Amino acid sequence: MFPLRRNRRLRANAAIRGLVRENIITANDFLVPLFVVEGKGIKEEILSMPNYYRHSLDTLVTEVKLLWSLGLRSVLLFVKVPDNLKDNKGTEALNADGLMQRAIKTVKNTCPDIIIMTDVALDPYSSFGHDGIVEEGKIINDDTIEVLAEMSVSHAEAGANIVAPSDMMDGRILSIREALEDEGFVDVGIMSYSAKYASAFYGPFRDALDSAPGFGDKKTYQMDPANRHEAMRETEMDIDEGADIVMVKPGMAYLDIVREIKNEFDVPVAVYQVSGEYAMIKAAAEKGWLNHDEVMMESIMAFKRAGADVIASYFAKDVIKLLS
């Protein structure tokens, strides 16, 4: 009862605030997304994502070395596939000498101990820009998960530590787990995009990879932003099917989902601070409407406080540099 209890006593100065702080951000919290393109000597800024880049394999080496020097130990690889290699079945995704497979090997050779996670979905390889095989304007679930399983094995053969299916097809986690087991990759993990919403926040990412859907939208397989209980069902199914880590995407607008999953399930929970979230902070800071570093740090702390064990963020390098 006031005045015996004064909460401000523990806010009096920076030292005591640090002493009683409930959550701490470290480099171990982060998963760094990396965009890879064909070519040589390419470090190309993404217009809608200021200060973030697409890398060819040679500049990827430099970037990975920098991440390692900063204490960042986990990366998530995405590839921008040339249009002439795209088709409806994502055939290029299974190419043992494809861009993803070469990127995995390049990163592994550069930093053998870094954790390599890989995007598993058809949209970068699809002539339709969708996450699955298309027939008569519909996304075909069961044929798609067969390809995703083969893709995951191909990534594991190249040296991936964890595959990250982002497609939201039903049953894909079990299909991938069984395929990995059958091929002897029992130690390759799965980070499932369990609660991936059909969000308007993905725009800059699709620009980065040229992977926007060629028709319609992704609402028949990604989740309705209105739904909370559905996220719990999806997560429970993925865990039952063999997911090692579950992810919520996007991040900031879905902190309630992060917290509920963390409370309900005893598995690591990842969250993805997506391209639209990054772009909004960058744009507002550029106009002088927000303090870039303060908002960046507050947004990351919000993920940690909500219960995220892993934070995929384009701000990872900036955060660690600021902390150090």
Terminal CA-CA length for the chain: 40
Q: What is the mean pLDDT of the chain?
A: 95
Using only C-alpha atoms, the chain has a radius of gyration, in whole angstroms, of 20
CATH number at residue 141: 3.20.20.70
In-domain check, residue 7? no
In angstroms, how far apart are the furthest CA atoms of the chain?
72
pLDDT tens figures, 40-84: 999 999 999 999 999 999 999 999 999 999 999 999 999 999 999
- In terms of residue numbers, what domain contains 315? 23-323
pLDDT band of residue 2 (cuts 50, 70, 90) is confident
Region of 288 (left: φ > 0; alpha: ψ -120 to 50; beta: rest) is left
Give catalytic residue positions.
Answer: 196, 249
Q: Domain tally for the chain?
A: 1
Query: Using CB atoms within 10 A of its CB, is residue 225 exposed (0-12), middle (13-18) or buried (19+)?
Result: middle
In-domain check, residue 212? yes
In-domain check, residue 10? no
Asked whether residue 234 is marked as a ligand-binding residue, the answer is: yes
In-domain check, residue 9? no
In-domain check, residue 2? no
In-domain check, residue 99? yes
pLDDT tens figures, 121-171: 999 999 888 889 999 889 999 999 999 999 999 999 999 999 999 999 999
What number is the average pLDDT over the span 260-284? 97
In-domain check, residue 198? yes
In-domain check, residue 115? yes
| Confidence (pTM) | 0.95
